[in-house]
Structure 1
Amino acid sequence: MVLDTAAELFATHGVSKTSTNRIAAEAGISIGTVYRYFPDRSAIVDELLNRMLDDLERGFDAVRPTVVADLSDETRPPEDRYSAAMHRILTVFNSALVENAGLVRAFVSTVQFYASNLPQFEKRLHAMLAQILQLGTGDDETTETICMVVVNTAFAVVVRTAVSNDADSDCIDELGMACRMLGLWLARTMITDSVSRAQ
C-alpha cells in the first residue's frame, strides 16, 4: 500500500515534492508505520526501482525461450536474428516503463543517479541482458560494452516513448529502428569478437 501510494504521488507531484508525511496521509497510515518499513523517501524510491526491475526480470524470463530461438536460427542472417532478439527485449523494456510512465518521468527528472540505487539497477540489468543474449558471465570487456550500449540505447528510446506524447505509430517506428540498429551492431560486434577470440 505504501509503495503504490508513493508511486502515484511521485508520478503526480514528483519525488522531491512528495514527503513521507504526505505518503502516510494518502495511504491512510501513520508516519511511524511508514518509517517502520522505510527509513526515508530514498528507501521508498529504491524499493520502487527494485519493483520495476523485478517486473523487467519477469518479462525477460517470459521472452527468454523465444530470444534463444531467434539467436539460434541459423536460417536467418545474424543481423536479423539479433534484430528480432532486440525487438523482444526492447518490447519488454517498453511495456514495463510505459506501464510506469509517470513514475519513470518522476525518476528521470529528479532522482540523482549516485544518490539512489540506480547504479545497482543498471548492474542488475546488465547481468540479465548478458544472460538473455547468451553473452557469457559478463566479466569480459566486450560483454560489458554490449550491455552498456544496449541498456543505454534501450532506455533512451523507451524512456522517450514512455514520456512522450507521440502517436503510438511513431513510437513503434522508433522502437523498430532502434532494434534494427542494435541488431546490426550486435551481429557485427559478435562476429568481430568471435574472430578475435579464434586468433
Structure 2
Amino acid sequence: MANSLLPMRVFALIACLFVAAVLAQSSTSSAAAATSSATIYPDTSKWQYVGCQNETTLLNNTNGLRALNGGTSETLNTMTVDICLNYCASSGNTYAGLEYTNECFCAQRLSALSTKLPESSCNLACTGNSSQICGGSLALTVYTAKTTTQGAGNKVQQAPMSSVLALGIALGVLLCLA
C-alpha cells in the first residue's frame, strides 16, 4: 500500500514545485515591468504590435538587407511611435518598425530571416518621447497595419493568464494536500 502511494506523492511534489516556480516567475515579471519607464505603444485601430524582431543586416547571405526592406525609411531626432506609424501609413506600407531610438523603417513585408527576440531586446526609448520604446540595437519594435478583412474569420479566445495561473495554483494545492 505504501509503495503504491509513492508515485502519487512524487507527482504531487513535482506539481508543488511547478506552482512555486510559476508564482516566482509571475512576481519577477511584474517587478521587471514596473521598473521600466518606457513602454511598448499600445495597439490602435490601425496598427497592431507584432513584437521585437531582429535586424537582418549582419546575417550571413543577406547582403546587408534589412528586416523591413524595399520600403521607405526616416531618421529623426524627434522620432516617436506615432510619427513612424503615420509615416509608414502615408506611404502605403503594411509594416512599420522602429530601431535604435530614432530610426523608422516601412515595408510591405517582414523578412523571413527576421525572428522574434525577447521583449527585453527592444529597450531603447524614442528620442521624441521617452515614455515610448523605439527598438533596440539591431532590434526593431515592429507593427503591422490592420486591414478591414483582418479577423473576419472565427475568433479563438484564450483563457487569460490569470485564469490559467489560478487553476494551476488550485490543482497544486489539492495535490500538495493529498
TM-score by length of 2: 0.26
TM-score by length of 1: 0.24
Structure number with larger C-alpha Rg: 2
Higher strand share: 2
